[in-house]
Amino acid sequence: MILRKPDFFDSFKCTASRCSDTCCVGWEIDIDEGSREAYRKVAGSFGEKLRDNIEDGHFKLLPRDRCPFLDRDNLCEIYMNLGEGALCDICREHPRFVEVYGDIMERGLGLCCEEATRLLFAGKGPLTFTSEECDEPEDELDDDDREVRDEVLFQREQIFKILADGSLTFRERLHRAFGISGDNAFAPSADARELYELLANTESFGPAWDEALKRIKARLDSAENSEQGIEDEGFFDESESVRLLAYLIYRHYAKCLFEGREHGKLMFALFFWNAARFFTRELAGSTSADAQTIKINAVKMLSKQLEYAEEIMEFVEISLDD
Mean pLDDT of the chain: 94
Indicate whether 172 pLDDT > 80: yes
Number of independent structural domains in the chain: 2
Helix (H) or strand (E) holding 101: strand 96-101
Single-letter amino acid, residue 89? D
In a domain, 204, yes or no: yes
In a domain, 3, yes or no: no
Helices 238-252 and 114-122 sit at what angle, rounded to 10 degrees? 120
If asked whether residues 144 and 285 sit together in one domain, one would say yes
If asked whether residues 267 and 182 sit together in one domain, one would say yes
Last residue of a domain, one of 36, 69, 92: 92
In a domain, 263, yes or no: yes
What pLDDT, in 10s, does the model give residues 228-253?
889 998 999 999 999 999 999 999 99
In a domain, 107, yes or no: no
Quick one: average pLDDT of 38-60? 93
Last residue of a domain, one of 35, 65, 92: 92
Q: Sign of the CA dihedral 297, 301, 304, 307? A: negative
Q: Give the pLDDT band (50/70/90) at residue 130.
A: very high
Cβ–Cβ < 8 Å for 268, 248: yes
Domain that holds residue 220: 140-320
pTM reported for the whole predicted model: 0.93
Q: Give the pLDDT band (50/70/90) at residue 131.
A: very high
Q: Give the pLDDT band (50/70/90) at residue 288.
A: confident
Q: Which residue has the higher pLDDT, 183 or 169?
A: 169
Indicate whether 16 pLDDT > 90: no
Last residue of a domain, one of 36, 59, 92: 92
If asked whether residues 83 and 218 sit together in one domain, one would say no
Task: Output the CA angle 125-127-133, nearest 5 degrees.
Answer: 130
Indicate whether 286 pLDDT > 80: no
pLDDT at position 322: 80
DSSP 229: -
Q: Give the pLDDT band (50/70/90) at residue 26.
A: confident
If asked whether residues 83 and 153 sit together in one domain, one would say no
Q: What's CA 228's distance to the chain center, in Å?
A: 32
What pLDDT, in 10s, does the model give residues 72-95?
999 999 999 999 999 999 999 999
If asked whether residues 147 and 65 sit together in one domain, one would say no
Quick one: average pLDDT of 295-316? 96
